[in-house]
Structures are given as C-alpha cells and as structure tokens.
Amino acid sequence: MYHSPRVRNIICGCAIAYFSHWLENRKKK
C-alpha cells in the first residue's frame, strides 16, 4: 500500500505528536 509523501508526513507527524504526549504523561507520574 503506497502513501504519497504528504500523507506519510501527516502520519509521521501524528505519530511523533502522540509519542511526545505519551512521554509527557509518563514524566508527570
């Protein structure tokens, strides 16, 4: 399944945002 570079960038951006949000939640506890 092929994604255009723009779609892949959006998916990567979402993944990075989710991951950094998860890290912030871990630090608080």
pLDDT of residue 1: 59
Domain count, the chain: 1
Q: Which element (helix H / strand E) includes 14? A: helix 5-28
pLDDT in tens, 9-20: 999 999 999 999
Mean pLDDT of the region 4-29: 94
Question: What are the CB-based long-range contacts (under 8 Å, 24+) for 16-19?
Answer: none
With a CB cutoff of 8 Å and minimum separation 6, the contacts of 11 are 3
Query: Does the model's pTM come out above 0.85?
Result: no
Q: What domain range includes position 2? A: 1-29
Q: Which residue has the higher pLDDT, 1 or 15?
A: 15
pLDDT of residue 29: 74
